[in-house]
Amino acid sequence: MAWSLRALWTRRAILLGDLLQSWADEFMQKACDAVPDPSAARAARAHFNRMRSEVALGQYLDVLEEQQPLFAEHAEQLERSTRVLVYKSAKYSVEAPLLIGSALAGANEAQETALSNFGLPVGVAFQLRDDLLGVFGDEEVTGKPSGDDLAEGKRTVLVTLAREHLPTTHRRIFDDLLGTELDANQISILQRSIRESGAVDQVEGMISRNISRSTAAVSGAPLRSDAVASLTQLAERAARRSA
């Protein structure tokens, strides 16, 4: 009975996703039809189509990663975790929307390049912050239980970096707990392990470097000064958010 109920909710989720994708395509077409310049509309549509493919790939890689019985060697695992982060979230959440909007507004190649160089590192910083919140976030602020990513067994960059610095025995215990039904004490153990590994500081450093890279990309770019100011503010808010 429980399995049938789960299967029903899965089918509902898939159908809802199909419906939302259909609506998104309709709205995108309306936006393109409203643009007087056909080349701008084609450019926007190309960015939109690429975004859909990339996020689908990222979601697939994320699901595939969760099904792996064991972690890969550190370098390979870090590369895989980063690839999921980039395609599942970073491109979709910041870079692609900027490129779609700028194309609809008639942006030239130099402007799109600057926005792309800005958007990707902001998206990476955004997801890295999300990974931290998924482990240490306040449930009343984030809306999901603290340590939720640990119970789900997410092989994030944060988790991958933490494992690298754990002693062998400690890492084995960490791996055994990850992705299981965790009680409050077990979540606390995993959180403490991640903190003591130095992974939190590493990820904070990665966030700061990505934000610096993003602001440098629009500094002196062929964009309006008020747009640059808004983008810089967006970058900081994405990186320093608590929810």
For 121-172, the pLDDT digits (tens) are 999 999 999 999 999 988 777 777 888 899 989 999 999 999 999 999 999 9
Which residue matches tokens 């055994």? Answer: 176
Contact 194, 162 (CB under 8 A): yes
Residue 243 pLDDT > 80, yes or no?
A: no
Determine the 3-state secondary structure of 146 from DSSP: coil
pLDDT digits (tens, 9 = 90+) for 31-83: 999 999 999 999 999 999 999 999 999 999 998 998 888 999 999 999 999 99
Task: Indicate the pLDDT class of residue 199, thresholds 50, 70 and 90.
Answer: very high
pLDDT digits (tens, 9 = 90+) for 47-57: 999 999 999 99
Overall residue count recorded for the chain in this entry: 243
Task: Indicate the pLDDT class of residue 3, thresholds 50, 70 and 90.
Answer: low
User: Alpha carbon of 37 to those of 32, 104, 106, 222: distances in Å?
Assistant: 9, 9, 8, 21
Task: Indicate the pLDDT class of residue 2, thresholds 50, 70 and 90.
Answer: low
- The alpha carbon torsion through 82, 88, 91, 92 (nearest 10 deg) reads -160
The mean pLDDT value for 86-105 works out to 95
